[in-house]
């Protein structure tokens, strides 16, 4: 029986000719990631190992991004812990304030992710890097500690679902609508510990930013990882960002690869989609939504803080103003994206529309800071989770949407269809 993309990557990482679903393996790691919340826990665990430093100072990335710039004493202490560990171990890829960004946008942008890599990160949305044909998955802080010490991690080889894409997205419909549609179809446990593998002619019609968004939210369907094939767009992205590509690590699934199921998706039929509280699977198209007034809009996060996302939002906000009583927070995912948005005039558009623009941070996504919701408030957000209390008070509500839908809703003061703007 043939292998899927994920299985081929894991086989190579484990030094095996082949692997099968359910097999337990130990694989070499190409990158280990931690942030200001998860890395301090891993560092304290690693201290118990009594090892002599890290396995490779060039293969560890430490990105303070959740509560950065530090919002309080505790977050400052966490950042200090990470900073001192990075200095002590001469970590090459430590990103301080002024260099940092939201980790899952920053690492690909920095050329640290390549096709065929095996990557673990102590953050559930590490699956983002599958957009570049890598196997990447979230782990706990203890596994991160073991990875930093040994350069290895164990995995149970996942089964796979093939999402066969065809057609092209309609205007003002994006990768966020695609993944919300998928999660709405299969549920939050529909791909539990399975690889979500995307294929078909429709892949070529998706931008890299669309692919990052789709891979990012694989975890919201329970997926072990999400992964796209490597094509000309992938290689162009890697070249632009200075990544080293090893052609021997570019894999395609075998013709006889085994999938637990194959799901066909016509991209041209995807409509703007919103996930209602309090699960990402509560997805509805805008044709099905009653009038829902809102208090806040957040455009950003590791899911939708890239330049394409900001352009889509700015295209709708240009020459318009946000509705009275609505707060709009825009968060470019990295300093580079922030600078590009500034050079393209997007920041001016946001400010003139009545929005505020934040330094790169995860802040509001996890209810950290920069946009906490009060009791009963509603927010349309381009983030990835809308659990009870995720962004503030337990009676608040989060509606997950694309940047275009978020921008249209900001203008209308209620959830609105971007295709009508």
DSSP 381-403: ESSS---TTTTBSTT-EEEE--H
Residue with tokens 């995860």: 362
Class at the top of the CATH hierarchy for domain 5-244+251-266: alpha beta
Sort strands 159-166 and 194-199 into parallel, antiparallel or unpaired. parallel
Per-residue pLDDT of the chain (421 residues; tens, 9 = 90+): 799 999 999 999 999 999 999 999 999 999 999 999 999 999 999 888 877 789 999 999 999 999 999 999 999 999 999 999 999 999 999 999 888 899 999 999 999 999 999 999 999 999 999 999 999 999 999 999 999 999 999 999 999 999 999 999 999 999 999 999 999 999 999 999 999 999 999 999 999 999 999 999 999 999 999 999 999 999 999 999 999 999 999 999 999 999 999 999 999 999 999 999 999 999 999 888 889 999 999 999 999 999 999 999 999 999 999 999 999 999 999 999 999 999 999 999 999 999 999 999 999 999 999 999 999 999 999 999 999 999 999 999 999 999 999 999 999 999 999 998 8
Contact 5, 203 (CB under 8 A): no
Reading the block at residue 140, the tokens are 């706990």
- So what's the pLDDT on residue 287? 86
Name, in order, each residue with C-beta under 8 angstroms of 273's C-beta and a sequence gap of 6 or more. Answer: 176, 177, 180, 181, 184, 283, 284, 285, 286, 401, 402
User: Which residue, 406, 413, 293, is CA-closest to 350?
Assistant: 406
Helix (H, G, I), strand (E, B) or coil at 167: coil
Residue with tokens 């995807």: 270
Tell me how far apart the alpha carbons of residues 293 and 413 are, in angstroms, rounded to a whole number.
6
Tell me how far apart the alpha carbons of residues 40 and 85 are, in angstroms, rounded to a whole number.
9
Count CB atoms within 10 A of the CB of residue 154.
Answer: 11
User: Which residue, 209, 192, 198, 193, is CA-closest to 252?
Assistant: 198
Tell me how far apart the alpha carbons of residues 329 and 355 are, in angstroms, rounded to a whole number.
6
User: Which residue, 375, 378, 369, is CA-closest to 414?
Assistant: 378
Superfamily for domain range 277-420: Aconitase, domain 3 (3.30.499.10)
Same fold, 5-244+251-266 and 277-420: yes
Domain ranges in the chain are 5-244+251-266, 277-420
Q: What does each C-alpha distance from 354 to 155, 351, 374 come to in angstroms?
A: 48, 5, 21
Tell me how far apart the alpha carbons of residues 334 and 398 are, in angstroms, rounded to a whole number.
24
As a whole number of Å, the CA-based R_g of the chain is: 20
User: Which residue, 395, 391, 413, 415, is CA-closest to 405?
Assistant: 415
User: Which residue, 385, 364, 388, is CA-closest to 66?
Assistant: 364
What DSSP designation does 232 have?
A: H
> Is the N-terminal amide bond of 69 cis, ω within 30° of 0?
yes
Count CB atoms within 10 A of the CB of residue 325.
Answer: 10
Contact 294, 414 (CB under 8 A): yes
Q: What does each C-alpha distance from 101 to 62, 112, 289, 339, 359 come to in angstroms?
A: 11, 14, 34, 12, 8
């Amino acid at each position: 029986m043939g292998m899927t993309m994920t299985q081929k990557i894991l086989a190579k990482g484990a030094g095996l000719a082949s692997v099968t679903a359910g097999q337990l393996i130990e694989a070499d790691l190409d990158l280990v990631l931690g942030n200001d919340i998860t890395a301090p826990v891993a560092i304290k665990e690693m201290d118990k190992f009594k090892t002599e430093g890290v396995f490779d100072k060039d293969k560890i990335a430490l990105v303070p991004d959740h509560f950065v710039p530090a919002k309080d004493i505790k977050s400052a202490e966490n950042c200090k812990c990470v900073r001192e560990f990075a200095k002590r171990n001469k970590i090459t890829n430590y990103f301080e304030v002024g260099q940092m960004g939201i980790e899952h946008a920053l690492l690909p942008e920095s050329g640290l992710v390549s096709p065929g890599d095996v990557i673990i990160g102590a953050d559930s949305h590490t699956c983002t890097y599958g957009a570049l044909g890598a196997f990447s998955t979230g782990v706990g802080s203890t596994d991160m500690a073991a990875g930093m010490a040994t350069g290895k991690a164990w995995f149970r080889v996942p089964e796979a679902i093939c999402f066969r894409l065809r057609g092209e997205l309609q205007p003002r419909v994006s990768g966020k609508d695609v993944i919300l549609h998928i999660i709405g179809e299969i549920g939050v446990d529909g791909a539990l510990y399975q690889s979500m593998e995307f294929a078909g002619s429709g892949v070529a019609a998706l931008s890299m930013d669309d692919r990052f968004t789709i891979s990012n939210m694989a975890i919201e369907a329970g997926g072990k990882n999400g992964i796209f094939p490597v094509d000309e767009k992938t290689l162009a992205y890697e070249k632009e960002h200075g990544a080293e590509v090893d052609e021997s690590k570019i894999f395609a699934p075998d013709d006889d690869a085994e999938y637990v199921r194959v799901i066909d998706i016509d991209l041209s039929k995807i409509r703007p989609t919103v996930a209602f509280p309090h699960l990402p699977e509560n997805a509805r198209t805008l044709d099905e939504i009653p009038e829902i007034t809102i208090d806040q809009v957040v455009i950003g996060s590791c899911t939708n803080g890239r330049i394409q996302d900001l352009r889509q939002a700015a295209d709708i906000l240009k020459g318009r103003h946000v509705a009275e009583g609505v707060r709009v927070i825009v968060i470019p995912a990295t300093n580079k994206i922030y600078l590009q948005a500034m050079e393209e005039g997007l920041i001016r558009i946001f400010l003139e529309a009545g929005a505020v623009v934040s330094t790169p941070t995860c802040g509001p996504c996890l209810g950290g800071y920069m946009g906490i919701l009060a009791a009963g408030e509603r927010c349309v957000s381009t983030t990835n989770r809308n659990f009870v209390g995720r962004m503030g008070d337990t009676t608040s509500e989060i509606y997950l949407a694309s940047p275009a839908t978020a921008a249209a809703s900001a203008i209308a003061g209620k959830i609105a269809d971007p295709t009508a703007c």
